[in-house]
Structure 1
Amino acid sequence: MSNRDWDKELAEIDRRLASVPDEPKAPARPAPPAMAAPTAPAAGAASAAPGRRLGTPAEAPGRRSMRTQLALLLRLAFGAAVVAALIYWPYPSRCGLGLGYYLALVSVLGLAGLATSVSAWRHRAAFVHALGIAMIVGAGVLGAREVLPKVGYAFPTPTHPASWACG
């Protein structure tokens, strides 16, 4: 058996539990940030906003600037243009150089989707982020439709043959 005196051990545990208060302490509040000291305005210049706490953002966290919204929409528009170009691709993309160009544009779509979703994540634009992820998934689907028959994973069809080179 064990050489421990369990009565002593349990008495020690009871003693420690008795010394702990019943009510948990309220979490300590961090000290409020320092207030920005009002500065004397320079000649003809407006003064900094007095009373604004240091380290707080200048704009509300839920609001995005017009420039940010425009940048996000331009990324989406670029992705939509690439999707339209891929859907209405006028050149043969079954094999050879045409297939290379098509897969390069599919890669551009994937990178555009990645850039859109990362930028939207940073600016907390959930809907644009979801559309960026949809562009990434779409690029994966369009690329897989061409690549998988050529690597032997999917059944080749006349529009998606098993060979990389024409001839």
Structure 2
Amino acid sequence: MHPISLITLLTASAVSVSASSVPAHRQRQSSVNPEVIPKSFGVTAGQGKDTVQVGSCIGAKNALIPCYCPPAPNSPEFLNKLTTALTNGFIFSKDQVAMPITLDKFNDGSDTSADTNKLRATAMIQVLQNFNLTTKGVGCPGVSVPVLNQMQQTGVIAARGSGDE
């Protein structure tokens, strides 16, 4: 075996051992914890298509919303965009839409306080309202996610596994 290969192999082994010996809650997080996200946003995309305003569907309080709104709470696209925003601390730039919570705090499932849940809801709403992540305000309006609006007001996460309302 070539000496450089042996050193590389030993270094890689040492890194993997040291990373695995660090408790999971102390390792750098790289994705959103789906357990702190409601199982439903209260509206399902594509429901109640409006015949007058083509491309619109019915959201909460009979408000018209884009038919692609909202994505499912477990949608990989939503989770990836939320992770990116929480990791960066902002959606577009530090001068525009700042995230109210860090990825680590968002993911802490042991923190079920109303204040933290309100911050989680605000972060999710901000990402949804700016869903294309290139143009501020282009995405899903708040009326497409009544469960998150309620969570933002009360700090209470909707019952786990509840269906659309």
TM-score by length of 1: 0.24
Q: Whose RCO is larger (CA < 8 A, sep 6+)?
A: 2
> Rg bigger for which structure?
1
Larger helix fraction of residues: 1
